[in-house]
Amino acid sequence: MDDAQLRNFLLVAREGSLSRAASHAYISVPSLKAQMDRLEAELQVRLLARTNRGIELTQEGRLFLDFAKDAVNNSENIKKDLQNVARLKSETICIGYNSQHIRDFVYYEALARFRNNYPNTDVSFATSPSFNIQKDDLFLGVCEADGHRIIKRELGVFPLHCIVPVGCDLSIKRSINAADLTGRDVLIPPENMFCHIFPDFEEMLAKSGVRYLTNHLNSSQYIIQPATGKRISIIIGKEHMLPSTLVQIPLEGFHCRYNIYCSARAMQRFIVQAYVESLIQHYREVLTGVLHD
């Protein structure tokens, strides 16, 4: 038996008529009947019976129907998988970004996982002040999303943490609130990240009398600043490689939403869809503690 016989058998079973099934299959009735005769001869059972109401399935035909459906579906899935593999050869995904604060360790873990699953796909990065929709497939960072041309997908919601020196009076607390920061020197993320945090974050700090500075340091300097300058650093998410002189404590009531922006055009490509879903899955695992405590 072959794929054409199975498909035409399904047509006959659905239509209950050789003539209607032959019309759908774009073959003649005698050719279709000959196919069904060969199929029955090969299986050595009667699959079809002619009645006053047309063609009906025998008991054996009804059993064979499920097999034929599964075989045709499997054939379709194999074709799709092979087509996807063919499309993945030498594919490139172009990503723009305008922020260093994308939780690099999480993102690079996600990228490594994706490249392991799709080794023939190249992912290229380029810094850009905004989403160049003509050039980039995806964008990470701060972006004005146009609903007609850009699709926004949430990677995850990260809580904010305070990094304080061991021995500081705050270091023994289970969580820190705005009042705890009053009168202290605090380093906060750059202004272009405020749109990811509650809109009143900066206003809250000012009203609470917090002396804050916007962070313009690189990530390693930013982390060690509390130990050397006796300041409190506010970071997005949780740092996993802190020196023993520092502790991190959740900041109550604030969080940061990480998004990835995709052009509607790019999302029509299988590989871009796979990349975005891979990122979302990885961030979800990180945030639920699957990968990190």
Residues 224 and 243: beta-carbon distance below 8 Å: yes
**pLDDT at residue 84 in the model:** 62
For 46, the token pair is 């009667």
Collapsed DSSP state (helix, strand, coil) of residue 55: strand
Strands 150-165 and 246-263: antiparallel
Q: 183 CB contacts (<8 Å, ≥6 apart)?
A: 209, 210, 211
For residue 98, count other CB atoms closer than 10 A to its CB.
Answer: 16
CA distances 34 to 8, 9, 43, Å, are 11, 12, 14
**pLDDT at residue 120 in the model:** 79
**pLDDT at residue 63 in the model:** 87
**pLDDT at residue 215 in the model:** 59
Which parts of the chain have pLDDT scores under 70? 80-90, 99-105, 142-148, 189-200, 214-229, 240, 289-293
For 94, the token pair is 């172009």
**pLDDT at residue 81 in the model:** 64
For 24, the token pair is 């759908």
DSSP label of 27: S
**pLDDT at residue 293 in the model:** 40
**pLDDT at residue 1 in the model:** 74
**pLDDT at residue 283 in the model:** 83
**pLDDT at residue 160 in the model:** 84
**pLDDT at residue 229 in the model:** 65
Q: 48 CB contacts (<8 Å, ≥6 apart)?
A: 12, 36, 40, 55, 56, 57, 58, 61
Measured on CA atoms in the order 54, 59, 65, 68, is the torsion positive or negative? negative
From the list 38, 28, 270, 284, the residue with the least C-alpha distance to 158 is 284
**pLDDT at residue 131 in the model:** 83
Q: 253 CB contacts (<8 Å, ≥6 apart)?
A: 177, 178, 198
**pLDDT at residue 292 in the model:** 43
